[in-house]
Structure 1
Amino acid sequence: MTKETDVDDMDTPEMPANLTFLRRLVTVLTIIMIGGVVTVVALLVIRLNADPAPLPLPDQVTLPDGTTATAFTVGSDWFGIVTENDEVLIYDQVTGTLRQTITLD
């Protein structure tokens, strides 16, 4: 008679301690990397869906009569305002005086 052994009866060899540590380390690092990727994607989605904050028009600027600003940009020592009449008004950033007027075609 042969005695059949169950799979449960067999002794499973124990894993070495350093292999167990390595397995746990890989699992923890995988979880951390998944969390990092989810965080980066969430921050990108939040940042890209946010409305851009418009730059405020400086208080010391007085636009010529009858002009309305449609765009505003800042340079190193100047700022420019595009009007709805297709003109670019370049102002000095320190004094607020009009430096140059450029008419667009």
Structure 2
Amino acid sequence: MTRPSEPEIEEPAQLKFLRRLVTTLTAVMIGGLVVVISLLVIRLSDKGVTLPDTITLPDGTTPTAVTFGKGWIAVVSDDNRILILDAESGALRQTITIE
């Protein structure tokens, strides 16, 4: 038996628009996800700060905070001082007293 040919029904214009819109938004979301993952991989693979093997603080100094800069390390102590150390050698560069 042969099947009678069914007449093709044309999609309404609004349905075509909606289908294209969903397809476009899906492509944009996939592209955005790839960009976000790429940026995370690039930023998290950064080597970060290199630390000296040892840092020697003056006697009686207890560190409460540490900040890393380009070529220097700042150590805030509990006796209201900021000690600026060389990042490569760990030598004391400067002492700043907080009043």
| TM-score, with structure 2 as normaliser | 0.56
Encode CA deviations 1:84-105: one digit per residue, 9 max, x unaligned: 1110011111221111111100
> How many residues align structurally?
77
Who is 1:15 aligned against? 11
**Does the 8 Å contact 1:57/1:72 carry over to 2?**
no
Matched residue SS, 1:99: strand
Letter in 1 for 2:11: M
Letter in 1 for 2:17: L
The one of 15, 19, 27 equivalent to 2:22 is: 27
| More RCO (CA 8 Å, sep 6+) | 2
Who is 1:60 aligned against? 54
Letter in 1 for 2:69: G
Identity rate of aligned residues, in percent? 39
Who is 2:92 aligned against? 98
Letter in 1 for 2:10: E
Letter in 2 for 1:25: R
Contiguous gaps of at least 5 residues in structure 2: 1-8, 34-48
| TM-score, with structure 1 as normaliser | 0.53
d(CA) in 2 for partners of 1:56, 1:86:
26
- RMSD over aligned CA atoms reads 3.6
d(CA) in 2 for partners of 1:58, 1:71:
17
Structure with larger Rg: 1
Letter in 2 for 1:14: E
